[in-house]
Amino acid sequence: MDEFHFASDVLAVTVNAQGAELSSLVHTRCGEMLWQAEPIWPQHAPNLFPIVGRLAGDVLRHDGATYELPRHGFARRRRFTWAACAAGGCQLELHDDAQTQALYPFSFRLSIGYAVAGDTLTVTYGVSNTGDVVLPASIGAHPAFRWPLAAGLPKSAHTLTFAEPEPAPIRRLEDGLLKREDYPTPIEGRTLKLDESLFAADAIILDRPASHGVRYSAPGAPVIEVAWETFRELGLWSKAGGDFLCIEPWYGYASPVDFDGPFEAKPGLLRIAPGDTEVLTLEIRVIDPQDR
């Protein structure tokens, strides 16, 4: 089975086996909320594992050997197996094998579960260490929501409202690696006024967000609320010419520009003991403007 469809009375959801990727999130009155993988960026909501962002030279160094590991890892390019499918959701799994070991020499099980209830989709990520050494890994969500949220609205009419004030500096990328410098935040109090120019220098990275949730909105449009637990960082990204906004909770980030050491020493990793599992959750709520 290539994809699975399930629904509540408010949301209809589609998940693909390829990458365990959420590919459609349709509200009964407001329509499709996700970017539909048009050629300028042919993805919907990829899952990032076992890294978020890039490694220097796309090379993982471990125990004296080197491995070529592409940006954002390999999970989004792998077909997951269906562990469970039901009327209200599904669960998919990816295990290490010869192909993953050639890129990333660690044993793992990655479980991604989707469950819908009313106007909310909950995504649960489980990263398990099935080996006998500490598992160093990062994981990230990368959902792309439509921008503008409703036809005819200018992109500049949209805002992100954070749960808490966000005064801390932001981080930026250079050739996909984390720059040394901090940059003044464009967030004013709890509010970020959205404009395409914000992303001219690639993603905005909050490596120390105070919030565990953000509200994406515009006058007269549906509202999308994204909330997360256990994830530590947040990326915001769009691409010139693309009518989407990515709101990306992460645990981890790209290698700093001055880091080229062994992978297990890389900043920003989960470090999971043998036999243990780390669980991270993401909630996406879609609110009809008529209900506000």
**pLDDT on residue 16:** 98
Dist. CA 126–CA 93, nearest whole Å: 9
What is the set of domains in the chain, with CATH numbers?
3-291 (2.70.98.10)
One pLDDT digit (tens) per residue for the chain, 292 residues: 999 999 999 999 999 999 999 999 999 999 999 999 999 999 999 999 999 999 999 999 999 999 999 999 999 999 999 999 999 999 999 999 999 999 999 999 999 999 999 999 999 999 999 999 999 999 999 999 999 999 999 999 999 999 999 999 999 999 999 999 999 999 999 999 999 999 999 999 999 999 999 999 999 999 999 999 999 999 999 999 999 999 999 999 999 999 989 999 999 999 999 999 999 999 999 999 877 5
Contact (Cβ atoms closer than 8 angstroms) between residue 7 and residue 120: no
**pLDDT on residue 292:** 59
Write the Ramachandran bin of 176: left for phi over 0, alpha for psi from -120 to 50, otherwise beta. Answer: left
* 57-82 residue pLDDT tens: 999 999 999 999 999 999 999 999 99
* 95-151 residue pLDDT tens: 999 999 999 999 999 999 999 999 999 999 999 999 999 999 999 999 999 999 999
Taking CA atoms, 277 is separated from 11, 43, 80, 126, 166, in Å, by 30, 28, 18, 6, 30
Which residues on neighbouring strands pair with residue 4, listed in sequence order?
A: 15
Helix (H) or strand (E) run with residue 272 in it: strand 270-272
Q: Which is it for the CA torsion 144, 206, 72, 181, positive or negative? A: positive
- Reduced to 3 states (helix: H, G, I; strand: E, B; else coil), residue 182 is coil
Does the predicted TM-score (pTM) go above 0.95?
Answer: yes
